[in-house]
Structures are given as C-alpha cells and as structure tokens.
Amino acid sequence: MKKISILLMTFLIAISLLGCSKEETRFIEIESYDVDMSGYEDMPSTNHHFKGITPTEFMRVYEEDGSGVFYIGYTGCSSCQATVSLIEEAAIETDTTVYYLDPYSEEYDFFSYMSDIMAILDPILRHEDDGTATIYTPHIFAMINGEFGQSLIGGGDTVDELVSLMEEVR
C-alpha cells in the first residue's frame, strides 16, 4: 500500500510540474525585407536589427499564432526619432529582429489596411474617453503565439524596458 501511495504521489507531482511549464514560443517564417533606417538619427542605413514587413504579413503572423517583436513608427515622428536607437540597442543586447511597420512606407498603402490592423491591435491601443482607439507612435510590442505581450506606447523610457519586452518573446 505504501508503494502505491508513493507512486501515486510521484505521478501527481510530475503531472503538476508539466502543467506549470511554459508553452513553447511559436515562430513562423515571416516574409520581410531590408529597410533603410538612415532617416532615423544615429541609425545606419543597413546592418541593424530592423526588418520591414507589410501589413498583410503582420496580419498573417497574428492569424497563424506567430511570435515576434513589432515596431510601428516613422521618420517624421520626433518621439520615434528619439526611440529607434534605444530599440536597436536592446535588439543588439538580445539579438532580436524587430519587424517594422511604417505607416508612410512606399512599399505598401498602410491606410488601406487600417481597419483590419486596428481590429487586431485594439487590445493594446490607447482608447479615448468615447472608446475610439488610436495608434500612437512609436509603438513597440511583443506577440507570443498570436497573443500580445508587453506593449510600450512611446517606445519605453529605457533600454531595460525594451530588453524585457524582447526577452518575453524568447
């Protein structure tokens, strides 16, 4: 009887430990392109951790429960100018690719996808008093298996915040 109790106890402990394990992060193949970041202060045009993606590709990653770190911003945004070098510093530290959506890119018409993108991003957007959601830039966020992780509107204040966000995707 004692052996059965020990076996049962061991089995229950093993089951409980398995139930507490973290789900494996699912990475899918993301179609991206090299993006010239020289429009941002202190950024080289190449040899950085940013990859451009289209809105269609972003939506596919979400729909297929993919994972990654995403940045929405543009060179004409002064807050984006101040943040991109911090994002790059965190990406260097964590060896993370940052997928870049530029609302004013010549590669695609971002605004033709706006309602679909807004529907996907709604949980992590700022909402006005009337409930209207707005995309503010810079916005960097983690997606883990199609679910949103950390989200920093304004890009975060420190490299440590950005590193934490990027490590969440690992």
State whether residue 149 is helix, strand or coil.
strand
* CA proximity to 88, closest of 6, 1, 163: 163
Q: Report the distance separating Cα 82 and Cα 85, nearest Å.
A: 7
Distances in Å between the alpha carbon of 148 and those of 41, 121, 167? Answer: 29, 9, 14
Map tokens 């490299």 to a residue. Answer: 159
Q: What is the reported pLDDT for 157?
A: 77
Of 26, 96, 101, 31, the closest CA to residue 64 belongs to 26
- pLDDT one digit per residue (tens) for the chain, 170 residues: 555 544 444 444 444 444 455 579 988 999 999 999 999 998 988 899 999 999 999 999 999 999 999 999 999 999 999 999 999 999 999 999 999 999 999 999 999 999 999 999 999 999 999 999 999 999 999 999 999 999 999 987 799 999 999 999 98
pTM of the predicted structure, to 2 decimals: 0.85
Question: pLDDT at position 23, please?
Answer: 76
| pLDDT computed for residue 2 by the predictor | 56
Amino acid 100 reads Y
